[in-house]
């Protein structure tokens, strides 16, 4: 799995998750619960991980959805 996106913004994470799900791209959103537990200091960000062989497809889907500026 490759980290494609990192954020504490629940709306951004939900949108990215929906875009990847709609494109049938295997992915996981991890560390969301840790971000909620640690509170407002934003030390732990949730991450969107994508299957190694689908990184290009995921980047393309997220870029088409207007999230190019959020990608590393």
Q: How confident is the model at residue 72 (pLDDT cuts 50, 70, 90)?
A: confident
* DSSP result, 3-62: EEEEES-HHHHHHHHHHHHHTT--EEEESHHHHHHHGGG--S-EEEEE-GGGHHHHHHHH
Count of domains in the chain?
Answer: 1
pLDDT in tens, 27-64: 999 987 665 555 555 678 889 999 999 999 999 999 99
Residue 72 placed within a domain: no
The pTM assigned to this predicted structure is 0.84
CATH number for the domain spanning 9: value is 3.30.70.790
The alpha carbon of 31 is separated from its chain's Cα centroid by a whole number of angstroms, namely 11
Q: Which domain holds residue 58?
A: 2-67
Which has more pLDDT, 16 or 32? Answer: 16
Position 22 pLDDT exceeds 80 = yes
Structure tokens at 33: 């619960």
Residue 15 placed within a domain: yes
Position 14 pLDDT exceeds 90 = yes
Residue 30 placed within a domain: yes
């Amino acid at each position: 799995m490759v980290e494609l996106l990192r954020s504490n913004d629940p709306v951004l994470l939900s949108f990215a998750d929906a875009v990847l799900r709609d494109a049938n791209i295997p992915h996981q959103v991890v560390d969301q619960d840790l971000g909620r537990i640690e509170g407002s200091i934003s030390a732990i960000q949730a991450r969107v991980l994508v299957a190694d062989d689908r990184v290009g497809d995921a980047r393309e889907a997220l870029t088409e959805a207007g999230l190019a500026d959020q990608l590393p």
